[in-house]
Amino acid sequence: MPNLDVLTSTLASGFLLGGILALIALGLSIALGVMRLVNLAHGELLVCGAYLSYFLLSQFDVDPISGLLVVGALMALIALPFQRLLIAPLSGKGMEAPMMTMFGVSIILQNLLLLGFSADTRTLEAPYAASPVSLGPVTVPQIYLIGFAISVVLVVLVHQLVTRTGFGRELRASSADPTAAAAMGVDVRRVHALTFALGAACAAMGGVLIGTAFSFTPSTGATYLLTSFAVVVLSGVGNIFGTLLAGIAMGLLQSVGALAFGDGYRDFVGLVLFLLVLAFRPQGITSTGGR
């Protein structure tokens, strides 16, 4: 039985990391919920965000956190033409074609990153990236605290966007019933494009946080893809606050699993949980039904 310090610190870290996982998963959840898009390039979008930040840091000395929104905006801009060119034409042809397209995109992105940045492992350096914060017996990495705060803020912002703005209304209408929404004058194609861009921005910003807390290479994305799926399914697709809760739950569970069985089983525990939820309550633990 690990001592109390370790236990509380681990749980706290897991909690905080979960917030970051939630931000990452949010992008996937929105795309899935609104566009029925199984975005297999999600991990690569995350890593792209990290590399974008790396580029800004190394060339223009832009601090990762300060440049976070810039990275998000840039990623959204990059993602828009992707969606228009590749995914929009496939709408209405089922879920598989867009999924495989995104898979093709992920291969291309990985290789572009490889060509552009080489396979060397990178990490985002910042004064807060590798320092601890202690509160009594609990010690957590400072970046986890920062990342958690930012993730929560962003999740709330997205929630506000979806529930209180005109765009949000259109988004919800398009996801509930695209044909009816179109009949009501909603430009569903535009909504889809912007939704995808928003999802990509969330993934990229999450990537910056991950890149600051850990390290990344062109192939790092794959690991986060599955975890994101797990969080999405746990929370119920398209449920924004649910994603936050599910992310935190996932973070906690992974930490407990790592403590109990070893860090190697961290992802495994998450996956098993994911499978159990899928099997018994696919609409998600936090959702209240529907969708």
Partner 1 sequence: MNIKTIVAAAAITLGLTASALAADEIVIGASIPLSGPLAGFGAYMQWGYQTAVNDVNKAGGIAVDGKKKQVKLVIRDDKTDSNVTASNTETLISRDEAVAMLGSCTPALVNAGALVAERRKVPLVTGCAPLQAFKSVRPWKYAWALFFDEGDLGNAPFKMLAEMGLKTNKKIAILHDNGPDGQVVGGQIWPAAAKAGGYSVVRSSSFPIDSQQFTSMIAQAKSSDADIALVAAIPPQAIAMRKQMASAGYTPKILVMEKGAEPEAFAQASGALADGVLVGGYWDPSFPYPGAADLAKRFESETKQTQSQHIADSHAAAQVLLDAIAAAGSTDREKINAAIAKTDKTYVVGPVKFDAAHSSRLPITMMQWQSGKSVVVWPKDRANGKLIFPLPAAK
Partner 2 sequence: MASMVDNKLAVAPTRSGGLVGGASAWLLPCLILALALAPPLMSNYALDIGFRLLLLITLAEAWNLLAGYGGLVSLGTASFVGVGAYTLTGLVNQWGLPFALAIPVAGLSAVLLAVIVSPAVFRLRGLYFTVGTLALAEALRMFMVNNSVFGGATGLFLAIDPPGVKGLYWFALGLFAVTTLAMTVATRSRFSILLRTVRDDEDAAAQIGVRPFRIKLIAFALASFLMGMAGALQGMKLGAVEPYGMFGIQWTVAVLSIVIIGGQGLRVGPIVGAIFVVAMAELLADYPALNLALTGLILILVIRFAPKGLVGLALRKTRGAK
Which residues in this chain contact partner 2 in the complex, by CB under 8 A?
32, 36, 38, 86, 89-90, 93-97, 99-101, 103-108, 110-112, 115, 222, 226, 229-230, 233, 262, 264-265, 267-268, 271-272, 274-275, 278-279, 282-283, 290-291
**Angstrom distance (rounded) from CA 78 to CA 16:** 29
Indicate whether 74 belongs to the interface with partner 1 (CB under 8 A): no
Residue 239, contacted partner among partner 1, partner 2, none, CB below 5-8 A by kind: none
Among 49, 51, 48, smallest CA distance to 59 is for: 51
In the region spanning residues 197 to 236, those forming contacts with partner 1, defined by CB under 8 A, are 213-217, 219-220, 223
Q: How far is the CB of 159 from partner 2 (least distance, A)?
A: 22
Specify the DSSP class assigned to residue 48.
H
Q: Residue 187 — left, alpha, or beta (φ > 0 → left; ψ -120 to 50 → alpha)?
A: beta
Shortest distance in whole angstroms from residue 278 CB to partner 1? 22
Question: From the DSSP assignment, how many helices (H) and strands (E) are in the chain?
Answer: 11, 2
CA distance 47 to 205: 10
- Please give the C-alpha separations between residue 116 and each of 17, 55, 87, 113, in angstroms, as whole numbers: 29, 11, 25, 5
HSE-up (13 A, CA, CB side) for residue 89: 6
Which residues between 85 and 144 bind partner 1 (CB under 8 A)? Answer: 111, 114, 118-123, 125, 129-132, 134, 139, 141-144
Q: Would you say 207 or 284 has its CB closer to partner 1?
A: 207
DSSP label at residue 87: I
Chain residues 3-32 in contact with partner 1, contact rule CB under 8 A: 3, 5-6, 9-10, 13-14, 17
Of 69 and 112, which has the nearer Cβ to partner 2? 112
Could you say whether residue 149 binds partner 1 (CB under 8 A)? no
What is the C-alpha separation between 79 and 282, in angstroms, rounded? 29
CA dihedral 140, 143, 145, 150 (to 10 degrees): -160
What is the footprint of partner 1 within residues 262-291 (CB under 8 A)? 262-264, 266-267
Q: How far is the CB of 152 from partner 1 (least distance, A)?
A: 20
Residues engaged in binding partner 1 (CB under 8 A): 2-3, 5-6, 9-10, 13-14, 17, 111, 114, 118-123, 125, 129-132, 134, 139, 141-144, 213-217, 219-220, 223, 254-255, 258-259, 262-264, 266-267
